[in-house]
Amino acid sequence: MTSWIDGVRGTRIDWRDRGLQYGDGLFETLRVRAGRVRLLDEHLERLSAGSRRLGITLPSIGRLRRELAAAAAGQDEAVLKLIVTRGRGERGYRPTGRERATRILSRWPAPPSAGPAGAAPITVRICRTRLGLNPALAGLKTLNRLESVLARTEWRDPRIAEGLMLDAEGHVVCGTMSNLFLRHGSVLATPLLDRCGVAGVMRRFVLGEARSLGLRPTERRIGLADLASADEAFITNALAGPVPIGVIRHGRERWRPRATEASRRLRERLDARR
């Protein structure tokens, strides 16, 4: 692992940083292949939009783009993680408005799940941990990920690749580290993220490509019955792309979506963009 703090190689941040004190910040996880960052524009657009909603002043997008490109250069396969916090602050929740954003960029080896094996159907489970409803933060990829942390501690079985999370009202929202899509015929549905959940860049890619593949994309509330009746189900994230689901475990129940063609065709579209 290699890391840079505000553009300089290093591993230490000020203990007064509001990202550490309050989780006051955002992050992006980016896939590198053949020395280039995949969906870089989408990542930077999401980071900019999230920063505006939180009132965090970003460094220039040009600077971020140059630093990410430099970190990706010469890497066949890698993962970049960019954290932007509000910066060092005083005691108390209220920002002074004088904070200067801290940016933390790290580079990691790509995990096996980000490679070609990610195209094989996976097994997922329904988590007990629920997501709270908070429209003010819905869709943002903030540093506050404790619900996902707790959900991910629920299983150790290596055969289970992901856990699906429900909101406080029992609607399916997302995975611990992914977004969810269900296909019923030609309708491709993904959970509406107006009250909780993270709107991933790969989710945006799929919604943008769906119509050209003869699919009708929709964002709506999704229940457990929708999981049980889906012709096809898959998850998406920035590292693995679209990954088909073969088995959904819910207690003693097992739901088995059989089709994988939509996720396969979307992966082909994604590969064509590299």
**What local confidence, expressed as pLDDT, does residue 226 receive?**
97
Cα separation, 149 vs 115, whole angstroms: 24
CB contact at 8 A, 218 and 225: no
CB contact at 8 A, 1 and 106: yes
Q: In one letter, which amino acid is 18? A: R
Please indicate, yes or no, whether the overall pTM of this predicted structure exceeds 0.85. Answer: yes
Q: Average pLDDT in the 151-161 region?
A: 97
Cα separation, 146 vs 129, whole angstroms: 10
Cα separation, 86 vs 91, whole angstroms: 14
**CATH number of the domain located at residue range(s) 116-272 in this protein:** 3.20.10.10
User: Tens digits of per-residue pLDDT, 38-94?
Assistant: 999 999 999 999 999 999 999 999 999 999 999 999 999 999 999 999 999 999 999
Residues in CB range of 193: below 8 A, 6 or more apart: 138, 139, 173, 174, 199, 219
**What local confidence, expressed as pLDDT, does residue 111 receive?**
82
Residues in CB range of 274: below 8 A, 6 or more apart: 33, 34, 36, 38
User: Which CATH topology does 2-110 take?
Assistant: D-amino Acid Aminotransferase; Chain A, domain 1 (3.30.470)
- Asked if pLDDT for residue 26 goes beyond 60, the answer is yes
Q: Average pLDDT in the 213-226 region?
A: 97
Band of pLDDT at residue 267, cut at 50, 70 and 90? very high
Residues of the chain with CATH 3.30.470.10: 2-110
